[in-house]
Amino acid sequence: MAKFLVHASYTPEGTKGLLKGGATARRKAVEELLASLGGKLEAFYFTFGDDDAVLIIDLRTPRRRSPWGSPYVSPGW
């Protein structure tokens, strides 16, 4: 599997969702998304600064990476 480092930033709408659902719910959503793509979440860290979170993910092939961003653009991730 290929490993990818993902830098993520929340929109104001995404921050509201984080505060409402909690960090555990966001992590679980990412794990479910990656599992549906045949991958897994290795690490999920919340950060300060330009990025709100940094993730290390495993995916089988780079071409499976393309759907990754799409579900998190609209809900504010």
Cβ atoms of 57 and 3 closer than 8 Å: yes
Residue 15 one-letter amino acid: T
pLDDT tens digits in sequence order for the chain, 77 residues long:
789 899 988 888 888 878 888 878 888 888 998 999 889 999 999 999 999 899 999 988 655 445 545 444 444 44
Cβ atoms of 62 and 31 closer than 8 Å: no
Domain ranges of the chain: 2-73
Cβ atoms of 42 and 56 closer than 8 Å: yes
Q: Which of 48, 1, 15, 55 is nearest to 68 (CA)?
A: 55
Quick one: pLDDT at residue 56?
95
